[in-house]
């Protein structure tokens, strides 16, 4: 466990790390429920299993984010089969997350939902501008997947999305929603929440006038201050503590 609150925890065993990842994934689900990021059966958060590293844990199909528990998570293999858990996996969740976990071996987690501001912003087909300190976390570190071919049900679509994401921390899926990744579950979740808010801020500002951009050199500097994996992980910690205290039943 962490020696101080600034450290991403290290674990003595992979079993401990598995529990940590699952608990933080569930905390993310509860937060997505809290923030209204649900849209029926859409939306998924995945965490690579630290033991079977080509498998990932994901929230169960057809269960509201607010009802997800550690017990209800499912472990999915490379064929899209549930190998642990009593629930099914959303086909689109397998298609999208499987491709990302394969293409980005350093990535531990990915998050996607049809959250309101991300969905609305995605229809514009534009990048996020550096108009606030927070939006600089995504400066030159997000992509747009410009294709929309219906619900992502075939594996080729998943590969195209993963390819569009590239080395970035986030991808705006045009006419669809947001997708973020991280080297920790916490990081992927923070980027999702932060990106949703950045989309909202940009649309609010655009609707009122012409927002002033932070100059490129300052945006680049700010990115190094707020856009690292460590910063993403650390920013999530207050939310994790808050939601864990609010819903102790999720563990």
Closer CB to Zn ion, 161 or 214, in the complex: 161
Stretch of residues binding Zn ion (CB under 5 A), selected from 35-43, 60-68, 83-91, 192-200: 35-43
Candidate ranges 11-19, 36-44, 157-165, 190-198; the one touching Zn ion (CB under 5 A)? 36-44
Pick between residue 42 and residue 100 the one whose CB is nearest to Zn ion: 42
Which pair of tokens denotes residue 237?
A: 């910690």
Say how many residues touch Zn ion, by CB under 5 A.
1
**How near is the Cβ of 24 to Zn ion at its closest, in Å?**
21
Which span sits near Zn ion by CB under 5 A: 34-42, 66-74, 220-228, 237-245? 34-42
CB nearer to Zn ion: pick between 42 and 128:
42
> In angstroms, what is the minimal distance from the CB of 126 to Zn ion?
20
CA distance 139 to 228: 11
Which of 93, 131 has the CB closer to Zn ion?
93
Task: Name the nearest CA neighbour of 243 among 33, 44, 63, 64.
Answer: 33
By beta-carbon proximity to Zn ion, the closer residue of 113 and 222 is: 113
Residue whose beta carbon is closest to Zn ion: 42
Q: Output the smallest distance, CB 76 to Zn ion, in A.
A: 16
For the segment 37-96, give every residue that binds Zn ion (CB under 5 A).
Answer: 42
Taking the complex as a whole, the smallest distance from the CB of residue 107 to Zn ion amounts, in Å, to 18
CB 246 → Zn ion: shortest distance, Å? 27
In whole angstroms, how close is the CB of 43 to Zn ion at the nearest point? Answer: 7
Q: Which is nearer to Zn ion, 34 or 38 (CB)?
A: 38
Residue 93, judged by CB atoms within 10 A of its CB (0-12, 13-18, 19+), counts as: buried
Tokens 């609150």 sit on residue: 5
Which one, 136 or 193, has the nearer CB to Zn ion? 193
- Assign 3-class secondary structure to the chain: CCCCCCCCCCCCCHHHHHHHHHHHHHHHHHHHHHCCCCECCECEEEEECCCCCCCEEECCCCCCHHHCCCCCCEEECCCCCEEECCCCCCHHHHHHHHHHHHHCCCCCEEEEECCHHHHHHHCCCCCCCCCCCHHHHHCCCEEEECCCCCCCCCHHHHHHHHHHHCCCCEEEECCCEEEEEECCHHHHHHHHHHHHHHHHHHHHHHHHCCCCCCCHHHHHHHHHHHCCHHHHHHHHHHHHHHHHHHCHHHC
CB of 112 to Zn ion, least distance (A): 6
* Interface with Zn ion (CB under 5 A): 42
């Amino acid at each position: 466990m962490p020696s101080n609150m600034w450290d991403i925890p290290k674990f003595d065993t992979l079993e401990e790390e598995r529990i940590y990842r699952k608990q933080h994934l569930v905390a993310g689900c509860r937060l997505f429920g809290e923030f209204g990021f649900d849209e029926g059966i859409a939306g998924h958060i995945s965490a690579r299993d630290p033991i079977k590293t080509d498998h990932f844990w994901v929230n169960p199909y057809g269960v509201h984010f607010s009802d997800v528990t550690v017990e209800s998570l499912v472990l999915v293999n490379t064929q899209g089969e549930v190998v642990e858990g009593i629930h099914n996996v959303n086909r689109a969740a397998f298609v999208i997350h499987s491709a990302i976990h394969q293409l980005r071996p350093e990535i531990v987690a990915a998050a996607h939902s049809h959250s309101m501001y991300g969905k609305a912003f995605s229809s514009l087909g534009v990048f996020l501008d550096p108009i606030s300190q927070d939006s600089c976390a995504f400066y030159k570190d997000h992509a747009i997947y410009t294709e929309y071919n219906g619900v992502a049900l075939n594996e080729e679509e998943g590969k195209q999305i993963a390819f569009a994401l590239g080395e970035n921390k986030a991808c705006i899926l045009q006419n669809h929603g947001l997708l973020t990744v991280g080297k920790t579950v916490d990081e992927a979740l923070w980027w999702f929440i932060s990106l949703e808010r950045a989309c909202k801020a940009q649309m609010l500002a655009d609707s009122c006038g012409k927002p002033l951009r932070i100059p490129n050199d300052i945006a680049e500097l700010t990115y190094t201050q707020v856009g690292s994996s460590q910063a993403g992980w650390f920013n999530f910690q207050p939310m994790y503590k808050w939601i864990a205290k609010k819903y102790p039943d999720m563990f």
